Chains A and B, each alone.
Chain A
Amino acid sequence: MNANDNGVCWSCSQTAGGEPLCAHCGALQPPPRDYFAILGVTPRLDLDLTDLQKRFYDLSRRLHPDVQQRKSAREKQYSLEASAVLNDAWRTLGDPVSRAEYVLRQNGFEIGDTRSRDVPAEWLEEVFEMNMAIEELDGGDAAARGQLELAGKRFAALREETDRELAEQFRRWDSTGNRETLEEIRGLLNRRRYIRNLVRDVEKALAG
């Protein structure tokens, strides 16, 4: 469904103007499947969320099936497609991590399991100690609690640091567009996922 490519409106055969609705006759055009395209932004990783949300709401008001209810069957079908893609796009691009994963997938990367090199070696000792502390706490050693709380704080700090690094790499990719940066970003995402699991385990141990 990419009739938009030639920019000619299916309804009035005039130039549609590349907008969701034909600039000439107002007929709803076949929607793009690309998340950046449907939101009308150039593909970037460093996005202004306020602007993105405003676009999402404005486009919803124009594309939603409720608004297109009294149109032709064809436009109603486009409206359904367009709204689905728009909602998927906002859900995906509105979150930095899923946004990066989307861009990685678009560039042929597989989003998969953490590889050992994504986790710095100096963390391993820390993780080992954390596991010990969890065991001790489970065994009834209340002293381990303080140790775990400390570990939790350190992991949270690591997560923040990873987020900062990610933001930096996002900007780098936006300006260079090179593949090595994406490779770097994939590593950071895996690392972030790993830290998230650590934080979760610590919280669970402290709550239990």
Chain B
Amino acid sequence: MGTLEIDFGDSAKGRVVGIDLGTTNSLVAYMGVTSPEVIPGEDGARLTPSVVSYGASGEMVVGNRARLALLTHPQRTVYSIKRLMGRGLADIGEELKLFPFRIAAGSESVLRLELGERSFTPPEISAFVLRQMKKNAEAHLGEPVRKAVITVPAYFNDAQRQATKDAGRIAGLEVLRLVNEPTAAALAYGLDKRKDGIVAVYDLGGGTFDISILKLHDGIFEVLATHGDTHLGGDDIDNLLLEIGLEDIAGEWGEDIRGNHEAVQRLRRAVIEAKERLSTAPAARIDLEHGHQHYRREIGRERFEKLITPIVERTLGPCRACLGDAGVAVEEIDEVVLVGGSTRIPLVRAAVERLFRARPHTELNPEEVVALGAAVQAGILSGEVRDQLLLDVTPLSLGIETMGGLVSKIIHRNSTIPASATETFTTAVEGQTNVLIHVVQGERELVKDCRSLARFDLKGIDPMPAGMARIEVRFLIDANGILNVSARESRTGKEQGVEVKPSYGLTEEQVEGMILESFQRAEEDFEARQAREARLEADTILSAVERARQNDAWFDLSEEEQRAIVVSINELLVAYHSEDHRLIRALIDKLNTQTMKLAETMMNTAVRTALKGTKV
């Protein structure tokens, strides 16, 4: 649900980066002098696994290190969080069967996952990934980064988009635009060869599938139609292979390892590696060592393709529907672009080629093309890229509940966004002071078959006879695909209060709370690091003093001097276990001062000994 954001007029300055927040991997890119470029992470890798691990000492680990933690600390680590963005407890049953997500108590209102002793909402977990992307960009560009374009699957609904935007805000980013992934890919491809034509973008990622058909026209990228499935991707292939492995193991070892998170994660890694090898090799081996047992299975390309055929088939229906919605015949498609790691699979490529009767483009890395396109869009927003414009569409129809649980559609799917609709509402009984509007997204006729988006409460209506009030409600889907609602009394023109109750996701107050908490956490993290460093310094001086006390020089000190030092040591030892780095540092300084004479004496003795040594 959109809310008006306060603008401080400072949006003209500062670099804008493009972030592909993926199910499996995330990337950040920026608009270079002539072309978009991917920014590598600290370890030099261009892809950052979208895995977050909450370390035992309270630090958040993201990326490859977190992926390792998936094996060592599966209970503290979470992956594929994108699958849970903008969703409620009631509709994630399927996900829970396949993923070891641990739902925290009280998730009925707001979904939270347990990581160790803490719990986080999906936007907060995504925010850790985004914060890492921000950090990578800042390290690479050598300047603070506060603004970003973030990509989302084209078929994401309002709640999923809002959750992504919330994640950006929690990560300290101003999200200038959410861009649909396939559209971003088209933008990345269209940069250097500006020509007119019809382009189909087939995007099969880790967890989502999108198909978009665009018309390119003199720098305008106009999306004609989009279709997809937000629960279809490489993860589903992994799960099929995983199931085979689990069954084999149960048969061979007589042991069901499903309950063993670590073993399941290692098997998952093994099947993913085998899947990836199968894109280039005719056969691959799934290999897992578990304790003293060893599981091995060779899987051939043919067997693999037979296994995944139903998944590939599931992508073709949306493709055909999309062509129909766009009013485009297969023969009219000029170019086909492949996006997402799963399009490396030869069977997927063959299916796309057969359907569109065109050889797909693969010049750009399918895992990087979305981030590159996001960087182009960032360039458009910052003014660096001119003469290019994206006109995207809303993937789902917007409707309001009417009598008898029916849906009245007010903005149809595939409408170019921003899009709007104005409806007039009135009161049903005399003196009624508020009207409740239930907004849903989806294509079905009944409210129960669509996805509830939010309830809007029009409040503070002046009491008058039934049917007299004329409240004009404006529904506006912005360029991010997010709904904004405003209302006014049409005779008086008075703005009407609208209270939003999102059906899924977080209220504005909850997001604000999380932003605040993340700042406090950042501060806490800083404090914790300072305390750790101070303790290291304390260790150094304490062990030095301890050694000095064995030295002859110690006995040269007066009893008073000795006592003062011992008192300081004890003070420092007490402070050592506090979180107060300032106190620890002050006491280190004090001890330093008091042991100055001791150090000097020792130094002199050492010099004397050394000098003596040279003489001998």
Contact = CB atoms under 8 A, between A and B. Distances in A.
Interface of A: 57, 60-61, 64-67, 69-70, 72-73, 76-77, 80-81, 83-85, 87-88, 90-91
Contacts of A76: 7
Contact of B177 (A57, A60, A66, A88): A66
Nearest to B391: A60
Given A61-B220, A73-B7, A87 B417 contact: yes
Contacts of B477: 84
B418 interface: yes
B479 A66 contact: yes
Contacts, number: 68
A87 B12 contact: no
A87 B176 CA distance: 21
Given A80-B418, A88-B415, 10 more contacts: A65-B479, A66-B389, A66-B390, A69-B176, A73-B9, A81-B476, A84-B477, A87-B416, A87-B418, A88-B419
A66 B418 contact: no
Contacts of B390: 66
Contacts of B478: 65, 80
B551 interface: no
A178 B442 CA distance: 40
Nearest to B179: A66
Nearest to B475: A84
Contact of B389 (A60, A73, A80, A88): A60
Nearest to B176: A69
Given A57-B217, A57-B220, A72-B7, A83 B418 contact: yes
B476 A80 contact: yes
Contacts of B380: 66
B11 interface: yes
5 contacts: A61-B220, A64-B391, A73-B9, A80-B479, A84-B419
Specify the main secondary structure of chain B where it touches its partner: mixed
A70 B220 contact: no
Nearest to A87: B416
Contacts of B383: 69-70
Contacts of A70: 11-12, 381-383
Contacts of A91: 415-416, 419
Contacts of B479: 64-66, 80, 83
A87 B7 contact: no
A84 B7 contact: no
B434 interface: no
Specify the main secondary structure of chain A where it touches its partner: helix
B220 A88 contact: no
B12 A64 contact: no
A85 B220 CA distance: 19
Contacts of B416: 87, 90-91
B470 to A, nearest CB: 16
A57 B416 CA distance: 12
A61 B11 contact: no
B415 to A, nearest CB: 6
B381 A66 contact: yes
Contacts of A81: 420, 476
Contacts of A90: 416
B420 A88 contact: yes
A41 B177 CA distance: 31
A54 to B, nearest CB: 10
Contacts of A87: 391, 415-419
A84 B476 contact: yes
The 9 nearest A-B residue pairs measured at CB = A73-B7, A84-B418, A84-B420, A87-B416, A83-B418, A69-B381, A70-B12, A65-B479, A66-B380
Interface string B206-244: 000000000001101000000000000000000000000
Nearest to A66: B380
Nearest to B220: A57
B389 A61 contact: yes
Interface string B1-24: 000101101011000000000000
A83 B176 CA distance: 17
Contacts of B176: 69
Interface in B345-384: 377, 380-383
Contacts of A61: 220, 389
Interface string B447-487: 00000000000000000000000000000111100000000
Contacts of A88: 415, 419-421
Contacts of A65: 418, 478-479
Given A66-B390, A91-B415, A85 B217 contact: no
A76 B4 CA distance: 11
Contacts of B476: 80-81, 84
Contacts of B382: 69-70
Given A65-B479, A91-B415, A85 B420 contact: yes
Given A57-B217, A72-B7, A67 B389 contact: yes
Nearest to A74: B7
Nearest to B380: A66
Contacts of B381: 66, 69-70
Interface in B269-299: none
Nearest to A77: B4
Contacts of A64: 389, 391, 479
Nearest to A73: B7
Nearest to B417: A87
B138 to A, nearest CB: 22
Contacts of B218: 57
A69 B418 CA distance: 14
A77 B5 CA distance: 10
Contact of A72 (B9, B220, B377, B418): B9
A70 B96 CA distance: 43
